[in-house]
Amino acid sequence: MKNKLHTAETHPLTWWINAERDTVWFKEYRNKNGYKSVEKVFNNFLPIEIINLVKDSGLKGRGGAGFLTGVKWSLMSENTSLENRYLICNADEMEPGTYKDKFLMEYIPHQLIEGILLGAFALQVKRAYIFLRGEYFLAEKILHQAIYEANQAGFLGKNILDSGIDVEIILHSGAGRYLCGEETALINSLEGKRANPRAKPPFPATVGLWGKPTCVNNVETLSNIPAIVLHGIQWYKNLSNSDDTGTKIMGFSGKVNNSGLWELPLGITARELLYNYAGGMQSGLKLKAWQPGGASTSFLTEEHLDIKMDFSSFNSIGSRLGTGLAMAVDNTVNMVSLVLNLEKFFSRESCGLCTPCRDGLPWVVKILQALEQRNGSIDDIELLEDLCKKMGPGKTFCAHAPGAVSPLQSAIKYFRSDFENGLNKNKNDNNIRKIDI
């Protein structure tokens, strides 16, 4: 992850990592200028100044959606009620193939705490929550210890740095639901309810946790804030190779020679990421497909490797950067089997609130199972395409189903022959399964 060229000026998220690859605890973090941004801000700035600073930096949310963080914060600032406002750090990280937030929490927990403190100051929040993926047992242990250290040192609790500002951080481990990546489902779960998404509007900035104004930000997003405060807007913009600002934790998994994570400028190409950092495909294998950032992003081909790894570039081709942790698919893989594995996961994780998702995803799984067994009906591919349309954006209560069918839709588009190979040519055409939903 880290090499000797990493500095605070070039790799603001990861330069803290020590040679032993141990967790950076409070003493070491302070010796490396940790919490300097809190000391700079708490007695010298107004909350609106920090909101405007983050807005002008161009920082986009690192959870996958890429929404401007400062704009999201500004929605909270417009609410005049300062009592019972909340900040939630979304550390649920349930996206298959994604493990960047786990890395940040396990190795540099105080950077996240510092980011939460700055967010709490800007949003005038007294209580913040970290909603942690339930399976992240080591991260839970480390965060508890780091929160204790910050409290003991006077950076959490009452009257921080004699500023009159109180901030409490509560760590909450979730029960294990993919849908908690959606902020309103996360809020419901935190309240002890079933993790179903809520209707929007009202948005959490107005009616969130326990009906109060709430802002939800991702781990990597909040971890960017201290460096922006210390080094400034122009510095942060200059880190990037694109219109999207800053660096990003990116990675490649699959049968590559050097799978892993790297902090890199937004705007490097996927080809650079695959060949210069991940070392290319393993011997004897060729790249067949890749996903740019998690299981819910579209499959792309080798022809797309020169695309810039940033939010804007992927949006321009109708895809998504997602979490920025890519997966390489080699030429030995049957795309029907791969997509079937993904759709089983998405079908299981559906909350069941709306019909297209609840009934459509299991239907997709059954069709893909038939195709994998080379027992598909002649119209199955067309039917899958129709289901993708009926579970697309705007057709379901939340973004779960559109994300679930994104890899399926793209796999059919680029690798149709894999699906056609699953058709049973001798099957009676009277068995066509056609129904409108």
Are 274 and 251 in contact by the 8 Å Cβ rule? The answer is: no
Q: Which residue numbers in the chain have pLDDT < 70?
A: 1-5, 78-82, 427-437
pLDDT digits (tens, 9 = 90+) for 258-283: 999 999 999 999 999 999 999 999 99
Give me the helices (H) in 124-266, please.
137-152, 183-190, 219-231, 233-238
- Tokens standing for 320? 């998504």
The rounded distance, in Å, linking the Cα atoms of 214 and 129 is 11
Please name the amino acid found at residue 28.
Answer: E
DSSP designation for 66: -
Specify which residues 127 forms β-bridges with.
86, 168
| pLDDT tens column, 217-255 | 999 999 999 999 999 999 999 999 999 999 999 999 999
Nearby residues of 58 by Cβ (< 8 Å), 6 or more positions away: 68, 236, 237, 244, 245, 246
Place of tokens 């594995």: 341
Residue 6 near residue 15 (C-beta atoms within 8 A):
yes
Token code pair at residue 314: 């992927």
Domains of the chain: 26-238 (3.40.50.11540), 249-330 (3.10.20.600), 335-431 (1.20.1440.230)
Our CA dihedral for 132, 138, 139, 143, rounded to 10 degrees, sits at 110
Amino acid 181: pLDDT: 87
Beta pairing, strands 86-91 & 168-173: unpaired
The single residue listed with the structure tokens 């940033």 is 310
**Amino acid identity, position 291:** Q
Cβ proximity of 197 and 397 under 8 Å: yes
Average pLDDT in the chain: 93
| Whole-number pLDDT of residue 436 | 47
Backbone angles phi, psi at 24, to 5 degrees: -85, 100
pLDDT value, residue 81: 64
